[in-house]
Amino acid sequence: MAGRYKSDLKWSDVTPKAAFMDRRQLMVGAGALAMGSIAAPALAKLNAAPSKFSTDATPNSLEEITSYNNYYEFGVGKEDPARNAGAMSTDPWSVKIDGLVDKPGDYSFDDIMKGVDLEERIYRFRCVEAWSMVIPWVGFELADLLNRVGVQPGGKYVAFETAVLPDVMPGISRGYLEWPYREGLRMDEAMNPLTIIATGLYDDPIPNQNGAPLRLVVPWKYGFKSIKSIVRISVMDKEPPTSWNMANAREYGFYSNVNPEVDHPRWSQASERMVGGGFFAKRIPTLKFNGYEEQVASLYTGMDLSKNF
């Protein structure tokens, strides 16, 4: 877990903040200094601040987090995203923000990153397929971005879409899902401080297979809600259609909160396999709201979670 150990010399110590917020300059700087400079290894680091929302569980290794993925645009095998996603170019990148917002527009990745506070969020991550990891994301609260663009009073839901790049995404020409991959949240879920846009992993920019350059992370919901490589964010007055719900509404609800008491029609959700550990991989009990009950249970007061699954 080399990525865990941060150099004493921080990028922010040797460069003005404006420059270290700029990803392109950051890469150029890292490249230029690679020849013989002792500072080079520190330069790619995002220097994210720790967060009170992080779990103290031990994170999975970078190798595990970046080689066992779901990203159907790049293929349905767990190793396909790592094999194929490198061909995607994420610079330049822009996100269309539209719908019921005060400042709609096409925002470049750099625009979005300007002024955000990057935090390390070490979150538990639970896939609906009943495996789990612990992942040290770097990102910012989605609420920060929504507040910057101004949610109008009628805005009740937030919809997200992933890029569709048939030239580099072999899954697009196959009918795995209806593209673009779509996800959505209710406004209070979107505004919850646990909900982040992740732009990094282990204090480095997030790898393509994990959803570069920016992806959603909603740690109390099944992993498929955490949509990757976002190109559109729309504030809406109605619940938006979402990919897995469109594909099979009986198996995948809009809410998809992690819930050991509500089984998937084809398997139990009472426990999960921790990725890593090989032959000795442990199964552990699944926690309601993936262990984030204290922070989010109140969002669902009065709802029947077996009906609103």
Ligand X SMILES: Nc1nc2c(c(=O)[nH]1)N[C@H]1C(S)=C(S)[C@@H](COP(=O)(O)O)O[C@H]1N2
Is residue 269 near ligand X by the rule CB under 6 A? no
- Closest CB 271 distance from ligand X, rounded Å: 17
Q: Is 160 helix (H, G, I), strand (E, B) or coil?
A: strand
Number of H helices, E strands in the chain: 11, 12
Is residue 227 near ligand X by the rule CB under 6 A? yes
CA nearest neighbour of 14 among 31, 38, 35: 38
Token pair belonging to 262: 């509500």
Is residue 73 near ligand X by the rule CB under 6 A? yes
CA 131 vs CA 54, 165, 199, 292: distances in Å? 20, 28, 23, 17
Q: Which residues of this chain interact with Mo ion, rule CB under 5 A?
A: 70, 127, 223-224
Closest chain position to ligand X (CB): 223
The option from Mo ion, ligand X, none interacting with 73 (CB < 5 to 8 A, set by class) reads ligand X
DSSP result, 76-115: SSTTHHHHHGGG---SS-EEEEEESBSS-EEEEHHHHHTT
Please identify, using beta-carbon distances, which residue of 103 and 266 lies nearer to ligand X: 266
Please identify, using beta-carbon distances, which residue of 140 and 254 lies nearer to Mo ion: 254
- Closest CB 227 distance from ligand X, rounded Å: 5
The CA distance from 126 to 223, in Å, is: 6
Is residue 59 near ligand X by the rule CB under 6 A? no
Site for ligand X in 162-191 (CB under 6 A): 162, 181
Q: Which of 132, 192, 195, 210 binds ligand X (CB under 6 A)?
A: 210
Site for ligand X in 93-132 (CB under 6 A): 127
Cβ proximity of 70 and 81 under 8 Å: yes
The option from Mo ion, ligand X, none interacting with 181 (CB < 5 to 8 A, set by class) reads ligand X
Q: Give residues in contact with ligand X (CB under 6 A).
A: 69-73, 127, 162, 181, 210-211, 223-224, 226-228
